[in-house]
Amino acid sequence: MRIVLALAMLQAGVAAAGPPQRQHLAAVDIPTLERAFIECDHRSMQTMLSAAEAAICSMVFEDLKQRGFEGDFGKFMAWWRIQRGRAAAPQP
């Protein structure tokens, strides 16, 4: 997940010194936030996140919900359920 966000911030011209802050996420596009959230979700199902990872994932969630779904938690959840279904579907 850090790789996804770090690359996005570099592409957006944001200095990647230290952990990402909420204002850094404003430079990250929605598809990248979506991939970062999915990565957070997947990783959190595999292992316990560190405090830093959990904080980053929380920031990604909030920013994605606000910018990608107009702050509507229901819209976000509908999208997330679809993504979860795709991840669980057998791959050909």
pLDDT by residue (tens digit) across 26-61? 878 899 889 889 988 988 888 898 887 888 888 889
User: Which of 77, 54, 50 has the alpha carbon at shortest distance from 64?
Assistant: 77
Q: Do 8 and 32 meet the contact criterion of CB atoms below 8 Å apart? A: yes
Within a domain: 7: yes
Mean pLDDT of the chain: 79
Which pLDDT score, from 0 to 100, does residue 22 have? 61
- Residues spanned by the domain of 76: 2-12+30-88
Residue 53: the pLDDT is 80
- Of 1-5, 14-18, 50-54, 65-69, the one with minimum mean pLDDT is 14-18
Count structural domains, the chain.
Answer: 1
Q: Is residue 79 part of a domain?
A: yes
Rounded to two decimals, the pTM is 0.73
Residue 19 located in a structural domain: no
Structural domain contains residue 20: no
